[in-house]
Structure 1
Amino acid sequence: MQEKLLQHIDQIAHELITLAHTIFEYRELGFQEYQSSQILMDYLRQKGFRVESQIANLDTAFVATFGNGSPHIALLCEYDALPEIGHACGHNMIGTISVGAAVAQVLAGVFEQHSGKLSVVGCPAEERGNTKGELVQAGMFDDVDAALIIHPASMSTSFDIAYAIQRYQIEFFGKSAHAAADPVKGINALDAIILLFNGLSLMRQQVPEKSRLHGIITNGGQSFNTIPEYTSAEIGVRALRLDEVKHLARQLEHLAQGAAAMTGCSFKMTLETEMPEVRTNVPLAERLDQHYQTVGEQVEQRTYEQGVGSTDVGSVTYKVPAIQGYINITGGKDIPAHTRKFAEAADSEYGYQAMLRAVKALALTTYDLYADPDLLQRAKKYFKHYRE
């Protein structure tokens, strides 16, 4: 069966590259990926999948299913681009990798030999927030036994590292006054937000290792000669675990309270996004690692020194056994994501050949979850132990 899967992927390779390139050209931002999600849904329908669109009240989310019963395996798609620099995170490939691996199961006749259900879950707007968390809350993973996804990168690995994160909006409310004629009558909301950022800078000395506190002032006032009555900031709090993030967020709130007290302002702190850390399922990651080697992909160990971000895949790893692997699309060059150079790699000949190797490794790993009950049991046991 392994050879059949690989042969069928070779046969549809041109179709998959066309899908990825077309999505690259669409360059649709989060929650606006109408064409990108549609082209993936159309392709899956052509291959015999049952497709449901606009799931969980998200216009560009979808689920495509094949087969019935258990085990139920989910392959995750992303397809949103970044403002100005397009697919500089390679999401044009992510959806294509999962779709290709899923279609290979059908073409090779996996479900003629094994019982089970396969879902391809279209997840919009990864760059904008925790939409996978919304899909989890909507019950899309309630009967899923395992979930997998592969993301482009400048290295190949089966073990993800990702921070937990909370993103806050902090607003200060003061009182306007003429900055020259009557400043004493004003309450300066800009002073409050500057004090907040000064406090953040000092706070960084006493936070746990690998924690991150960063933000921007989104509104610093409207006129230089008016005491600002309103200012706002967007601040991200990251740490290795969600409980550490929540502890740091309480300290952030104390800073905001202090800044408000020192200036006479009031303040409001609003949680806008929360994503837990990625809990890599080791049995699944080890199997993907094995199949990377099967298809000739050199695997590396990811470390914090290589740079770590956050992803809403973490929400899925809290719900079911799951992994996010990475595929090297840069040919060994250290090119960071979210750059124009990485966008070039995401639409390059080398990148697309690497993408096809990822399709193959993911297809083989997915097949094993149907053909090797012991693998799934070990994945579930590991998930249960981690959760407890």
Structure 2
Amino acid sequence: MKNRAAIIESVDLISADVVGLAKIIFEFSELSYEEYKSAETLMDFLKGKGFSVESPAIEELPTSFIASYGSSGPRVAVMAEYDALPEIGHACGHNLICTTSIAAAVALKNSGAIDEAGGTVVVVGCPAEERGGAKRVLVEKGVFDDMSAALIIHPASMSTGFDISYALKTFSVEYFGKAAHAAADPAKGVNALDAVIQMFNGISAMRQQLPEKVRVHGIITNGGQSFNTIPDYSSAEIGIRALTMEEVDKVSEKFRRVVEAGALATGCEFLLKQTEQMEEVYVNVPIARLLDKNFESVGEETTPRTYEQGVGSTDVGSVTHVLPAIQGYIDITGGKDIPTHTKEFASCASSDYGYKAMLRAAKAMALTVYDLLSDQSVLKEAVDYFEERRKEF
């Protein structure tokens, strides 16, 4: 109990510094793969708190990093995200994700809890969640190979240790036609815009025969440059989501035929590329229950996660496929139904209420890491659950 109280007090003692850090990251609002100032600022903060920092974590991701403190024994990762969205900035609250994890890690060090429990807390700096799913690359390159467990807490309109997510694949589609004057010589053209419109019409028809909880959505990224020229080029970005990657793959094959049909109908050539992949989250129930318990111990009311609250995709899923891991949620809206990826949610991520919620999340996260490191039976339960669930992968 003494260490738990010391952890909570340690978060309070660094609260002004951490809130200041969250405000700085919010102002930077750097896009995926461009988070140079954010990563440098976070690393400097951790170095100043006595953490050993390695940067980049892997060469493929220059804005990734690993910061650790501890000794031999289990290593528990707390994941930090810090990329923003185009135009609307930190409308997914990643400025609070990184500071939650950093505050938790620093509190574990400053309180002496890590030294007493043994093991190591590791802050994994994870860039490019919004575009690219960079955690999948971190997993593939072995960053999580020596981790015993991993946690992250995401801002939301409710608090819970549990998550539901879609598996996701994204695609780029390009059509290549032939330009012609739209008034003088239209018959000489091959209309690439018609092809991409046919594709979207085909997607709309395909949706009628798709299972529940499958999502297909996208945008036209290039539809021509001049109204009086038959477009010789068009492009689009499409995302396909389902509850399992197996279902995503089935729908992706149907989608491929729809893309081909757009080309056949118009006489265009096409190029289809997969650009991103995010696995579904496999929740580690023992760790999720532990986080729920620790949320409640710091005065945070928890709410069961349901599909009605809205479900997205996250590259945290890739991490949950290789070790015991969770993505929890912290309410930064005061229970108001404010969707992420909106200007309104960005306002919540830079509000006094949001900062106070972030500090409560840091306390709950730090307590959960301490539970995993200080009691071998707790970590063993999480590992055993993962190994049993892994048989389903």
Q: CA deviation at 1:179?
A: 2.3
Q: Is 1:28 matched with 2:30?
A: yes
- Matched residue pairs, number? 388
Alignment equivalent of 1:378, drawn from 372, 381, 385 = 381
Residue 99 of structure 1 aligns to a residue whose secondary structure is helix
Residue 140 of structure 1 aligns to a residue whose secondary structure is coil
One-letter code of the match for 1:20?
A
The residue aligned with 2:56 is: 54
Pairs within 5 Å for 1:174-323:
174-323=177-326
Q: Deviation string for 1:13-47 (max 9, x for gaps)?
A: 11111111121122222222222212211121122
Q: CA deviation at 1:379?
A: 1.1
The residue aligned with 1:112 is: 115
- Tell me how far apart the structure 2 counterparts of residues 136 and 254 of structure 1 sit (CA, whole Å): 32
- Tell me how far apart the structure 1 counterparts of residues 264 and 25 of structure 2 sit (CA, whole Å): 50
One-letter code of the match for 2:89?
G
- Tell me how far apart the structure 2 counterparts of residues 218 and 343 of structure 1 sit (CA, whole Å): 25
TM-score by length of structure 1 reads 0.97
- Tell me how far apart the structure 2 counterparts of residues 55 and 344 of structure 1 sit (CA, whole Å): 31
Q: Is 1:100 matched with 2:71?
A: no
| Identity fraction in percent | 57
**Residues 167 and 280, structure 2, Cα contact 8 Å, conserved in 1:** yes
One-letter code of the match for 2:6?
K
Q: CA deviation at 1:348?
A: 1.4
One-letter code of the match for 1:372?
D
Residue 230 of structure 2 aligns to a residue whose secondary structure is coil
TM-score by length of structure 2 reads 0.96
**Which range is displaced more, 45-54 or 26-35?**
26-35
- Tell me how far apart the structure 2 counterparts of residues 243 and 315 of structure 1 sit (CA, whole Å): 15
Q: Deviation string for 1:347-385 (max 9, x for gaps)?
A: 211111111110110000000111111121111122122
Q: CA deviation at 1:178?
A: 2.5
Q: Deviation string for 1:57-84 (max 9, x for gaps)?
A: 2221110011233211000001112222
Over the residues paired in the alignment, what is the CA RMSD in angstroms? 1.3
**Which range is displaced more, 29-38 or 165-174?**
29-38
Residue 199 of structure 2 aligns to a residue whose secondary structure is helix
**Residues 333 and 348, structure 2, Cα contact 8 Å, conserved in 1:** yes
Residue 235 of structure 1 aligns to a residue whose secondary structure is strand
The residue aligned with 2:172 is: 169
One-letter code of the match for 1:89?
C
- Tell me how far apart the structure 2 counterparts of residues 192 and 349 of structure 1 sit (CA, whole Å): 49
- Tell me how far apart the structure 1 counterparts of residues 182 and 290 of structure 2 sit (CA, whole Å): 65
Q: Deviation string for 1:124-160 (max 9, x for gaps)?
A: 1211121111111111001111000001111111111
Long gaps (5+) in structure 2: none
Residue 53 of structure 2 aligns to a residue whose secondary structure is strand
Q: CA deviation at 1:300?
A: 0.3
The residue aligned with 1:73 is: 76
- Tell me how far apart the structure 1 counterparts of residues 156 and 181 of structure 2 sit (CA, whole Å): 52
Alignment equivalent of 1:346, drawn from 335, 346, 349 = 349
**Residues 114 and 370, structure 2, Cα contact 8 Å, conserved in 1:** no
One-letter code of the match for 1:116?
G
**Which range is displaced more, 259-268 or 150-159?**
259-268
**Residues 126 and 135, structure 2, Cα contact 8 Å, conserved in 1:** yes
Residue 361 of structure 1 aligns to a residue whose secondary structure is helix
One-letter code of the match for 2:218?
G
Residue 32 of structure 2 aligns to a residue whose secondary structure is coil
Runs of 4+ in 1 over 6 A off after TM superposition: none
The residue aligned with 1:64 is: 67
Q: Deviation string for 1:167-219 (max 9, x for gaps)?
A: 10111122222223332222222221111111100111111111101111111
- Tell me how far apart the structure 1 counterparts of residues 34 and 180 of structure 2 sit (CA, whole Å): 41
**Which range is displaced more, 346-355 or 205-214?**
346-355
Long gaps (5+) in structure 1: none
Residue 283 of structure 1 aligns to a residue whose secondary structure is helix
- Tell me how far apart the structure 2 counterparts of residues 106 and 65 of structure 1 sit (CA, whole Å): 10
The residue aligned with 1:17 is: 19
